[in-house]
Each structure stands twice: as structure tokens, then as C-alpha cells.
A and B are shown apart, each in its own frame.
Chain A
Amino acid sequence: MKTTASFLLLWISTLLTGASLSAQSANELRFSIHSFPKTFDPVLVDDDASETIRYLTGGVLIRINRESQRLEPELATGWKLSRDGRTITFTLRDGLRFSDGTGFGVADVAYTMNHLMDADLHSPTGDAFRVGEGKIAVKVLTANQVAITFPAAVVGLERLFDQVAIMSQSSPRKEMAVLGPYMVDEAKPGAVIVLKRNPNYWKVDSAGHHLPYISAIRLDVQPNRDLELIRFLRGEIHFINSLDAEYFEKVKAENPAAARNAGTSLDSEQMWFNQVPTAPLPAYKKIWFGSKSFRRAVSEAINRNDLARVVFRGHAQPAIGPFSPANQFWFNTALRPHPYDPTSARARLAAEGFYWRDGALYDSSGNRVEFSVVTNAGNRYREQMATLIQQDLSDVGIKLNVVTLDFPSLIERITRSFNYEACLLGLVNVDLDPNSEMNVWLSSAENHQWNPRQTSPATDWEADIDRLMRAQASSLDDRRRKQLFDQVQAIVWDQEPFLYLVNKDALAAIRPELHNVQPVVFRPQVYWNIEWLTLNAVVATRQ
């Protein structure tokens, strides 16, 4: 009996402890991704995890320096844009090889571009290059020069190549043959991906040492953010790339040096009213939502500073418009956040014929001003923001109901049935150039959320935005484009189709043993300079 009991105890203790311990290499960087990548094909990337793999393994012709936001040569030593903006000519670096030893040359660039622009693939990266009707033409000029011609001028063309990982035309390993600092060594679906150093990576440091410094990266698939934080605090992972404000405070309390705030990010949280004419809403509500004064009054009744202070623990700033000040070139510096001013909000509403009875607001037809805002369930920050907005609006007599929906149901409402009154969501800015937001600002666009797919602009100011956006998209002069987009930002600020609420800070948690880290606001915030990161303090001092 005693022997059986001892055996049972031993078995239980083995089970309890055995699985949590795993061998970890000293020069292995570990962090979490929140889902398994949908693809390893760089052309088909449309999710965060695949984007991470593409960034770490893909070699690109031009890279945007995430810190300076300027372009830097990578596989191309130089490039030249034609005067009409349709043709870009690259001069390639000589003697480079893919991770499997296959040589790199102009044929690979041609192959990648043709694969990228294959209309049947519906590549999100390829879509950014798609202008006008017709196909691209790739012409090999010399052994190391290649010219790519588009059917029409593509504004901000060079920047788009930051997302184009060059694939090998001849390698039998297809997309697994890469030119970036790392290559996929092992992939256990749903669980882990291990990357190892690409032996043929071309970069060296000033002392002639081959980059990258870190020999392997282990990416654990961890969908649960709470467990990710616990693993960070235990020292099982080296960093968390994007951290919520509450978790940031926890990290700061445990280890102040590990909590890193890179400043205001490019992402925004915003609210909008449903202005779709065919939406199944009462006519009087459509009148409210279509009224600039009503939208401005609601905006002025919201205390954005409180949202930033209470919901984001001070790690956010009141938002101004489509781009945050972090977008150094394109942000319109003349604009300021809408002030919290309930008195002005009341005045605007009164001027529109609204009136108050027993503290509640009514429109000129006697309808009680009450509407609901939908947001995605499980996002506690949005739920908290909605609650604070509910309180703010009650101060001016508006009754706000908060409805949380799971994401597919929410998307169905805002894109198909239009059975909603207001929506609170966030926008992730993955590109600095306003051209990437054509699908938001054109009145005919799918993502013109407040009233998508218009056959002709419903309002004069939307017609103005259409005109300005098209004008900036057809100009190759960045200064001229900036002037035009400044006007778009000013119209959006004035009309408030989106009530921009806050821009969150780019927060990260980084363990002290990881050196050379310079977190930035642009994705990927922590590992943008992956080649230079090191777990070795001696190597770090070489920089």
C-alpha cells in the first residue's frame, strides 16, 4: 500500500513539474505571438503573426527605418524613380544568397513582383501597388539592374517596397528560402515556431562580425495576454511588443526598468455615427447623426483627457485626427484636440432646436435623445471608454446605451445590415502614407465606415475629401501632397465623421538581459532592429 502511494505521489509530482521545464538556449530570443501564422508566403501575409515572420525572415529591397522613418537601402544598393512616377529602377547588391544557398539576382525580383501582382491571389501587399488598369512590366536591364513599370503613377512607391520580401525564383524550398536575418527552422502548428540565424545573411557589423547577433528566436503561440504577461514576469520570454496600459503598470511596479514607453503611437480609438441612408434606424435619429452640430456637440461633451487618464492610466493622448503626431511628416500640426466643453456642447444643441426637460435632452420633434454604441466584446478598454462616454453624455442629457458584440457580429452590423447607431472601434495604422487610407476616405470606399459605398458623395464636404484625396494620390510632389492632406485633416476635424478619442502610447515590456533595444512607435516596435539585438552584454558594448 505504501509502495503504491509513493509511486502515485512520484507520478503526480513528475506530471506537475515535468512539463513546465524546457531546455532554453543562452543565445535564444523568446517572445510570444498571439496566433499561429496563416501563411509563410510573404505575398499572402494578412495577419500579425505572418507579418512577424515576414519581418524576421524576409529580405527587402528598401527598408523604412522605424526610428527615423526614412528609407534605407537593403538588397538594393540604390533606386531611381522615373519622372512620371510609373517606373522604379533598382540596382541590386552583388553576391547575395538565399538561406538555402541559391543565388539572388534580378530574376528573383521579377518573379516576386509578378507573384505579388497576381490578381487571383488578392495579396494585401500587392493591393497597395494596384493603380489603374493594366499589368506591371518588369524589365531586366543588366545583371544587377531591374526596372518595374506600373500602369499608372504610384505615390509613395518606394515606401511600399518595405513590405515586399523577395522570393527565390529557382529554389526548391520556395518561400522557405529567405534573404532576411532569420529562417524558419521548426514550426509546430498552433504551438511554436523556431527561427535560426540565416547563415547567408549579408550584413556585418563595424568589426566584421556577421549579423544577427542572436542565433535563434523562439516564438511561442500564446493567444492569452494574461499568460503572456505572467511568462514575461517569470523571465520565460524576453519582451512583449505591444502592452496594454494596465499590464504596463504591473510591469512597472515589479521592474521599472523593464517598462518602456516609446511615446504616442500611430493607432487611434474612435467613435462614429451611422449615416447610412438605408440603415434600419428611425428617421429622426438619421437627422441627428447627419448633423454636424450634433456630432460636434457629442464630441465636445466627451472628456478625452479623462479617457486617457482613467482608462489608459495616463498612457494615451487626446486624439486629433486620422494621423497622430507620431506621424512626423503627414500630421497636420495646425490642429488641436477638440476641447472638453459641455457648455459649448449645450449651446450647439440648443441652436439646433434641442431642448431639456427634467435634465433629459429632446429634439425639436420631442424625441428623447438616446442612442446605443456598439463595440467589440472582451476589449475592456473600449468597454471602459464607452462607460465613461456614457457618463459624460448624461451630463448633457443624452442617454447612451453600451452594447458589446463579438467581432463577427459587429462586422456584420457595420458592413452589411447597418443595424447600429454608433460604433466605437480602433484603427491600426500600418503605413505612414495617407495613400494607404484611400479605402477610408473616398466616399465610394468599403471602409468609409459612417456611410460606405456611396455612388456619389452624400455631402459637399465628402466630395471635397474625395477631390483632395484623389489629387494627393496623383501628385508626386510630397510637399504638395502634404498640403492637400492637411486640408483633408482639417475637414475631418471640422465635420467629425469620426470622433477621434485617444491615441494610445506604444508600450512595451523588455527584460534587462536584452540589449540594443530602441523601442519605437512604428511596428514592429521592439524588434525593428532585430539584427542588432543581443543577449550578450559584451557584444552590446561593441555598438
Chain B
Amino acid sequence: MGILSKKDSKLILDPLADNNPITIQVLGICSALAITAELKASIVMTISVLFVLGVGNVVVSLMRNIIPPKIRIIVQLVVVAALVIIVDQVLKAFAYELSKTLSVFVGLIITNCIIMGRFEAFALGNGPWKSFLDGIGNALGYGVILIIVGFFRELLGSGTLLGIQVLGDPIAKTGLYALGYENNGFMLLSPMALITVGIIIWVQRSRNKTLIEEN
């Protein structure tokens, strides 16, 4: 990475793997369970969090020296909520179709613990540029897991990817279904998202032993 110093690129790359917010810090699990039944929803959520976390981290970082420590959590919440509401309103006025897709996610973005977590752990103690990179990195790390889980849940649960039937038609019995294959409806339910995340954690830790805790 030519433009970014080694330290800066670490801020982006670390959360993608060895310090992933979902699989290592176990943050943002709730939304990872809720919306990964479909690949498209995972992608929309990733883009939304990318924006909110990137901008929010910068705003909180700029305000870090004037925020009263006693009410910092409230201030952070206000920043996220205001940001999300403004974006939602602007989209409603100028990109109505897109806002219809996103409206369901608004509540989920505000309550996403990764966002509060990064404000609290990073933006309050670092400058705006670093905070921006940290926000982007963590949002991408979150998004990667979301997309992997969404991919498997949609493929195995509905036999589709982004709404396109890739395994044939389950009702007309074409493609794979002609051989007796059935969609696993259980994949569409939230517990299977947790199990899928668990499998990712298992794979990740067996490949990188340093991630395994002592106890």
C-alpha cells in the first residue's frame, strides 16, 4: 500500500482477519444473525455500516477533546442516530427507491454494537484520519463475515444467490433438485447464522493458533 503508511494499512487490514470484530471481538452478532438470510441484505447492510462507521468515527474523533466523559456514551449515540436519520431523510427525498430498501436497516445500524464499540475504543483516543481508517477497516471486517454467512445461508436455505436460482427450480424439480436435493429451510432461521459464524471462528482459529486464548 503506497499511499498508506504501514501503521495506517494495519488499521484497515487487521480487522479483516486477526482482529475481526465479529469472529474475534464477538461484536455486532445481533445484526449478523438478523439479516443474513439473503446475500443482498448482507451487502446493503455492509455498505450502510461502512458509511456510518467511517463518518461517525471522524465526527467523534473531532469532538474527542470536548466530549464530557460522564455522558460520552449518550453523545456517541446521538452522533450515530443523527447521522443515520439525516441519511435516511436525504435518501427519502432524492433516492426514494433506495431508501425503501434501507429503511429496515436504520434501526439495526443505530443499535449495532460495533459502531459504539469503535467510537468508544478508538475514535475517542485517536485523530480523525486514523479513526476514519479504523472505521472503514472494522466495517469491512464486519461486512466480510456478513457476506460469507449470507452467501451460505441463501445458497443452502433457498438455493438462490442474490435472488437468482443457481441450483435449479425447487418446485419444477430441475437442476440439482432433479437428483433429489432439497433446500434446507433450517438455514433461513437465526440459529444457523450463529452456527455458521461458529464454523468461521473454528476455521480461523485452527489456521492461526495465536488467536486461541490461554484458558
The finding on whether chains A and B are genuine partners in a shared complex, rather than unrelated, reads no
